[in-house]
């Protein structure tokens, strides 16, 4: 006959009726300082660190000054992640001759009492460099991608600004798959196209830039000399840069050429001030013709609402 269990023994049960201090599986989740980290206290869980939008922007653009300034993506002629050879050449071709002009020619002209030409040259130089910097570091009119619009919850705001639903929420799935086959007819008939890279509907005259990897409003072309796209929001900067840099070349290069090829610069300055005709006239006429040609061409594009032949609007 088997001996009976002691009367003071606890009844046998399946499982564990109370928390065993030696059982780690039954203990609450606590941090290093003892505070509760269990799922029942979500307010005490460690929050995921947030990043600014420009730090995770899905493109090849480079951002500066906490996202207030940006430049284009790397090109096939890039020498560093933030600089390209054509853009570096443009800055060199502007700063090098102008530095020689302001160091050597400007003081001589000022001492001879010729104030209008040096001051005008200085003003045009500031305009040219300012327009170039604005073109290089401004937003050309980027249209955000589908994932950016969904993550920032700005679809309604963009619809009010653009005048249409760029996500096509009624006909296209949330992930954008198959969007090119399900576009609204009222949009495609007016020139709206589907971007298979950004998975959005882009308006007419906009295109996807393969260098920056963005859709740009009123995309004209990607200019390697400014290392940025030329679009709706910086086209006026680009137009001002082209005009002012040609005027600067007309004002600096002939005078600098005269200075470097004159044995007595004092006499050269005096002759340049009083010259009314001579060998420099063809140079001035050629530069003026280049300026007028560039201005007429860009005015024609603006007036006819066309893109330059450099744009590749059907590539993406």
Q: Using an 8 Å Cβ cutoff, are 78 and 85 in contact?
A: yes
Q: Name which of 242, 88, 63 is nearest 138 in CA terms.
A: 63
Q: How many CB atoms lie within 10 A of CB 297?
A: 12
Q: Confirm whether 223 is a catalytic residue.
A: yes
Catalytic residue among 195, 212, 223, 229: 223
Strand 207-209 relative to strand 214-216: parallel, antiparallel, unpaired? antiparallel
Residue 175: partners with Cβ closer than 8 Å, 6 or more residues away: 199
CA angle 289, 271, 244 (to 5 degrees): 30
The whole-angstrom distance between residue 56's C-alpha and the CA centroid of its chain comes to: 14
Mutual angle of helices 85-100 and 116-136, in 10-degree steps = 160
Enzyme catalytic residues? 223
């Amino acid at each position: 006959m088997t001996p009976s269990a002691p009367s003071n023994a606890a009844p046998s049960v399946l499982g564990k009726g109370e928390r065993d201090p030696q059982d780690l599986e039954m203990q609450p989740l606590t941090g290093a300082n003892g505070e509760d980290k269990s799922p029942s206290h979500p307010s005490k869980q460690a929050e995921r660190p947030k990043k600014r939008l420009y730090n995770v922007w899905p493109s090849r653009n480079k951002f500066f000054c906490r996202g207030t300034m940006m430049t284009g993506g790397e090109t096939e002629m890039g020498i560093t992640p933030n600089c390209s050879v054509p853009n570096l050449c443009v800055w060199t071709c502007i700063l090098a001759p102008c530095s020689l002009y302001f160091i050597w020619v400007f003081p001589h002209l000022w001492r001879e009492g010729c104030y209008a030409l040096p001051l005008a040259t200085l003003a045009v130089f500031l305009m040219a460099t300012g327009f170039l910097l604005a073109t290089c570091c401004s937003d050309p009119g980027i249209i955000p991608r589908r994932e950016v619009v969904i993550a920032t919850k700005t679809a309604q705001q963009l619809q009010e600004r653009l005048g249409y639903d760029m996500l096509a929420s009624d006909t296209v799935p949330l992930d954008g798959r198959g969007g090119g086959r399900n576009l609204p007819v009222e949009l495609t008939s007016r020139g709206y196209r589907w971007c298979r890279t950004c998975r959005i509907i882009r308006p007419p005259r906009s295109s996807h830039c393969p260098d920056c990897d963005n859709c740009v409003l009123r995309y004209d072309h990607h200019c390697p000399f400014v290392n940025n796209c030329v679009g709706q929001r910086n086209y006026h900067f680009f137009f001002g840069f082209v005009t002012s840099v040609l005027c600067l070349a007309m004002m600096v290069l002939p005078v600098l050429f005269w200075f470097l090829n004159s044995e007595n610069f004092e006499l050269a300055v005096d002759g340049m001030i009083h010259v009314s005709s001579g060998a420099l006239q063809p140079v001035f006429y050629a530069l003026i013709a280049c300026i007028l040609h560039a201005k007429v061409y860009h005015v024609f594009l603006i007036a006819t609402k066309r893109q330059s032949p450099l744009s590749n609007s059907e590539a993406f």
